Structure 1
Amino acid sequence: MSLSSLSAWAETTLSPWQVRAGASLIVPKSDNGSIIGHAADITIDNRTGPTVNLAYFITPNWAIDLLGGLAFKHQINVNGSRAGETKHLPPILSLQYHFRPEATLRPFVGVGLNYTAFVDEKLDSGDKLKLDDSWGPALQAGLDYAIDNHWTIGADVRYARINTKVRINGNDVGDVDVNPTVYSINVGYRF
């Protein structure tokens, strides 16, 4: 059996499932918007946390990928000073195209949908803060390094569109664009 046919045989025996575990840095855009008649400028800090991906390969080149993790906690600043905090859970479902799935270096791109749920919103003033959930598009580019047929080390960057309506004590005070760039590193296993 030749090396190329052995490689092809190994590829056909792999499961379509891949799991990745790693860490992600969420970097919201630097100017998130204004509320209360544009009198208050809002910014949201960066946060790092553990994430997991579950991918299903439809073909060797095409995969459906779900990014998830624990809720990320972010500090909310108004006019440069801490005003409160929130947690958000931003799973992203993507359709990925893997350019060279048989190579050692495996670049890929993805396009998908982000759903963000905000929880535990708090203002330091004691006023009641409510941030609406958000749906939006997401983009991705990444690179995996294959250690062997099953194990990879990878990195990717994603952009997600997140816009939320802000309510304080039940009153609508404006919208905030979070729109983070998400930088991830991971270790993957193809079953």
Structure 2
Amino acid sequence: MSQQFFPLTMLFTSLLLPVAAAADTEALSPWQARAGISLIAPKSNNGSILDNTADVTLSNRVGPTVNIAYFITPHWAIDLLGGLAFKHQIDVNGSRAGEAKHLPPILSLQYHFRPEATLRPYVGLGLNYTTFLDEKLDNGAKLKLGDSWGPALQAGLDYALDNHWTIGADIRYARINTKVKINGLDAGDVSINPIVYTLNVGYRF
């Protein structure tokens, strides 16, 4: 009887293992938080204002970012990127002309290709909203940059350290176009359209 019982026990255990693994995965919270450091790199030529007499360029900037993701399913997640306002130097015709801060939260729908693997690639498509703060011109003129809405793209990779912790990197593109006013008068449009490079540490609750 013992010889018959042993194979049946092994079969029963092999059937239960996938169920136990699935239960362990399902026990994880759908929430994931990441903290990272990001480089925001606006495109090289941001446009011309004042009847195309002033070429505008914005500097790169590095700063902390955070994002929170909610997994609707193991593969699909909603992700919100945020952080402190980034300050950029504004150059006009190659010389410093002022500075401005911008806050560019991005809401994305992500698809995670291999959510249970050690290496977890994903892509995202989203919407960017950008508002500008503390706009200043060195010559004392009043600068105003209008808010912007635009699409955003993302590709990233997480490396799972265990069931909860990950380290990762991602790259995002955001379309940001702002209307420029100087002393209350329309001066033209500036396209920032940055690439955002991020290294992060994540925790799945």
State if a TM-score over 0.5 links the two structures: yes
Structure with higher strand content = 1
Aligned to 1:37: 51
Question: For the residues of structure 2 that align with 1:121 and 1:146, how far apart are their CA atoms?
Answer: 41
Moved over 6 A (4+): none
Aligned to 2:90: 76
Indicate the RMSD between aligned Cα atoms, in angstroms: 0.9
1:10–1:149 CA contact under 8 A, matched in 2: no
Structure 2 stretches lacking a partner, 5+ long: 1-12
Decide which moves more: 3-12 or 161-170: 3-12
Q: Scaled by the length of structure 2, what TM-score is found?
A: 0.91
- Code of the residue aligned with 1:156 in structure 2: it is D
Displacement of 1:10? 1.6
Aligned to 2:190: 176
Query: How many pairs are equivalent?
Result: 191
Decide which moves more: 69-78 or 7-16: 7-16
Aligned to 1:190: 204
Deviations 1:74-106 (A, max 9, x none): 000000000000000000000000000000000
Question: For the residues of structure 1 that align with 2:70 and 2:81, how far apart are their CA atoms?
Answer: 12
Aligned to 2:136: 122
* 1:1-191 correspondence to structure 2 within 5 Å: 4-191=18-205
Question: For the residues of structure 1 that align with 2:62 and 2:20, how far apart are their CA atoms?
Answer: 41
| Matched residue SS, 2:114 | coil
- Code of the residue aligned with 2:97 in structure 1: it is A
- Decide which structure has the larger Cα Rg and report it: 2
Structure with higher helix content = 2
Question: For the residues of structure 1 that align with 2:111 and 2:18, how far apart are their CA atoms?
Answer: 23
Structure 1 stretches lacking a partner, 5+ long: none
- Code of the residue aligned with 2:129 in structure 1: it is Y
Residue identity over aligned pairs, in percent, reads: 77
